Chains A and B, each alone.
Chain A
Amino acid sequence: MLEVTNLRFAWPNGQTVLEDVSFTATSGVPLALLGPNGTGKTTLLRCLLGLERPQAGRVIVAGHDLAALSRTEAARLVAYVPQASTTAFAFRVADIVLMGRTPHLGFMAAPTPADRRAADDAMTRLGIADLAQRAFDELSGGERQLVLVARALAQGAKLLVLDEPCASLDLARQMRILAVLRDLATAGYAILLTTHLPDHAFLLGGTAALLKDGRLLGPAAPTELLTSPTLEALYGTPIEVVSLTEGRARGQVLCVPVMPSR
């Protein structure tokens, strides 16, 4: 679904952000991208969305070279789920989700009943149909994030790129988002998300990749890649990776940071 080869990106001032990044993401297997703050995770996402132009390398989405596509064509293939923030205007949820239909509208045309149905279906699928007439800014962070996922689904793209979808959410809401992403992957979507918690990669059961100093490690199965030495090298702090042996989460792998000694 997504094929990235030898991607290189540097800022105009010469600072290199991504160096020779290659990976593939397949439908059905969510890919969690980990890395310390400021390592270029967001820049990588922006390259995949066509928002930044890499200096070298190619991004192929569903067989199409992203660099050769128009904005509309790209938007039908890749959808972006940003971190939920507030809007400048008091939009209702339905207004926001309907924005997802933008790449499907004809010149001068308004959304058709089919477009509105696609938006409704996206909300129903995520269980937020009852929020349709609510003001977006009055929702909780988790609900806002789901609305933005619904907008991406309405967009009809089969590759979803999510920028820290679980950031600043409480545990229950993090799990709801992760469950939604797992179900979407099962339904055939290709999913790439960034996260600061290695546990998310274990919970999602897809693959994981690490980005540090512009270079990518992986993707590989989380249990293979996210070992104690690798994570310690990545984040520069002592980290244990343990597997639970009892209870309802038996078999679940966890990443436990060690409090530095005084």
Chain B
Amino acid sequence: MNNILSSPRLLLGASALGVLGLFLLSFLVGPYPIPPATVARIFLAQISLAERHWSEAMEMVVLDVRFPRIAGALLVGAALACAGAAYQNLFRNPLVSPGVLGVSSGAGFGAALGILLGLPGAAIQGMAFALGLVAVALTVWLGRSFDRHATLVLVVAGLVVSAFFQALVSLTKIVADPLNQLPSITFWLLGGLARTTPATLLGALVPIAAAGIVLHALRWQVHALAAGEDEARALGVDVRRVRIILIVAATLMTAAATSLCGIVGWVGLLIPHIVRMLVGPGFAIVLPMSALLGGGFLLGMDNLARMAGTVEVPLGILTSLIGAPFFALVLARTRRQWF
């Protein structure tokens, strides 16, 4: 078979082109119609001193409304998919993800608590990160105290931790001021990118990029980690150190993504599975491919959300509606023995 599917590198390049195309097309989506040529000219005008033949409203929609949102979708999708791939490799468990390990719920509670306390944006992000880390630590500890090797135990521990933090979130909602805080908490828990601004975008980009670089630096160590703890150590991997760095980086990514757009499920579980079906399980190729497909998937979903009509469907609902049945399909295709 000499087609594009047989070469992971070609597939990676093709995906990059596909995501770039989707990125450009996404500027045409939305209730306010702007012709493609105008979008292109608005962008060109940013780097040259071309004459402006469009309304200020158009420029504002493209640069201040659509650009942060489109970039945000790419960033969040990439972050969640990379974090999911990292967790799955780290725990040698294809069934874990930021959502399954309780990181999303923990980060969600952190952010909700931050909103309740009236903290500024950066502090809310910090709370999301701190509680995301607490959640994953609790899950790992709980899983280990039962059985450190069973795949399913870690998933169940994640369920327990998730349920606990979701209850705390509900509690926050009850106490929240129904006029100011509750709508913002609710909106945030459903997940969505409508409120993305260049400032919040940058606030999420920095930690996600930093964590992404760390994951990239460790990619071959993580690859060896898939052989199991003892074998990885015998292969020269400082397992304890790599594991801690990996958990912190993946959790930082998840928390930063979560603080930008709320809780968006399924990306971190679904995308790495699709990626491994396409390019195999080697982490060095899974990581960039997850970033591309995760970003592309979430951008596609967000475009759907923006096209859906007068009332925007929250992004988190869309990804679950489409991600859950799709994941069931992927499971049926892979048919591997996991338990």
List A residues at the B interface (Cβ < 8 Å).
46, 49-51, 70-72, 74-76, 78-80, 82, 86-92, 95-96, 98-100, 102-103, 105, 107-111, 155
For the complex formed, measure the closest distance between the CB of A82 and the CB atoms of chain B, giving whole angstroms.
6
Q: Which residues of A contact B226 (CB under 8 A)?
A: 87-89, 91
Q: Mark B49-77, 1 if CB is under 8 A from A, else 0.
A: 00000000000000000000000000000
A102 contacts which of B92, B217, B236, B282 (Cβ < 8 Å)?
B236
The reply to whether B236 and A88 contact each other, CB–CB distance below 8 Å, is: no
**Chain A residue at minimal CB-CB distance from B281:** A89
In the complex, whether B173 has a CB less than 8 A from a CB of chain A is no
For the complex formed, measure the closest distance between the CB of A240 and the CB atoms of chain B, giving whole angstroms.
38
With contacts A95-B282, A99-B223 taken as known, whether A80 is within 8 angstroms of B234 at the C-beta atoms is yes
**Chain B residue at minimal CB-CB distance from A103:** B236
The reply to whether A71 and B236 contact each other, CB–CB distance below 8 Å, is: yes
The reply to whether A90 and B230 contact each other, CB–CB distance below 8 Å, is: no
With contacts A90-B280, A90-B281 taken as known, whether A51 is within 8 angstroms of B94 at the C-beta atoms is no
A sample of 12 inter-chain contacts (CB < 8 A) reads A49-B233, A49-B234, A71-B237, A76-B236, A79-B234, A87-B227, A89-B89, A89-B92, A90-B280, A102-B223, A105-B220, A107-B217
A88 contacts which of B93, B223, B238 (Cβ < 8 Å)?
B93
CA distance A141 to B318 in the complex (A): 45
Q: Which residues of A contact B234 (CB under 8 A)?
A: 49, 51, 75, 78-80
Interface residue total, chain B, C-beta cutoff 8 A: 30
**Chain B residue at minimal CB-CB distance from A101:** B220
The reply to whether A82 and B217 contact each other, CB–CB distance below 8 Å, is: no
The reply to whether B238 and A71 contact each other, CB–CB distance below 8 Å, is: yes
The reply to whether B284 and A75 contact each other, CB–CB distance below 8 Å, is: no
Q: Which residues of A contact B94 (CB under 8 A)?
A: 88-89
Q: Which residues of B contact A111 (CB under 8 A)?
A: 220
Q: Which residues of B contact A86 (CB under 8 A)?
A: 337
Across chains A and B, the number of contacting residue pairs, with CB separation under 8 Å, is 82
The reply to whether A71 and B281 contact each other, CB–CB distance below 8 Å, is: no
Q: Which residues of B contact A102 (CB under 8 A)?
A: 220-221, 223-224, 235-237
CA distance A111 to B221 in the complex (A): 11
Q: Which residues of A contact B235 (CB under 8 A)?
A: 75, 80, 99-100, 102-103, 155
Interface centre among B217, B238, B282 (most CB of A within 10 A): B282
For the complex formed, measure the closest distance between the CB of A251 and the CB atoms of chain B, giving whole angstroms.
37
Q: Which residues of A contact B237 (CB under 8 A)?
A: 71, 102
For the complex formed, measure the closest distance between the CB of A153 and the CB atoms of chain B, giving whole angstroms.
13
Q: Which residues of B contact A103 (CB under 8 A)?
A: 235-236
CA distance A113 to B110 in the complex (A): 46
The reply to whether A95 and B280 contact each other, CB–CB distance below 8 Å, is: yes
In the complex, whether B216 has a CB less than 8 A from a CB of chain A is yes
The reply to whether A75 and B236 contact each other, CB–CB distance below 8 Å, is: yes
**Chain A residue at minimal CB-CB distance from B213:** A108
The reply to whether A72 and B231 contact each other, CB–CB distance below 8 Å, is: no
With contacts A87-B226, A88-B93 taken as known, whether A80 is within 8 angstroms of B238 at the C-beta atoms is no
A99 contacts which of B92, B217, B227, B233 (Cβ < 8 Å)?
B227
CA distance A99 to B132 in the complex (A): 31
For the complex formed, measure the closest distance between the CB of A105 and the CB atoms of chain B, giving whole angstroms.
5
CA distance A75 to B233 in the complex (A): 8
CA distance A78 to B226 in the complex (A): 20
Interface centre among B224, B235, B238 (most CB of A within 10 A): B235
Interface centre among A70, A71, A107 (most CB of B within 10 A): A71
The reply to whether B336 and A80 contact each other, CB–CB distance below 8 Å, is: no
For the complex formed, measure the closest distance between the CB of A3 and the CB atoms of chain B, giving whole angstroms.
19
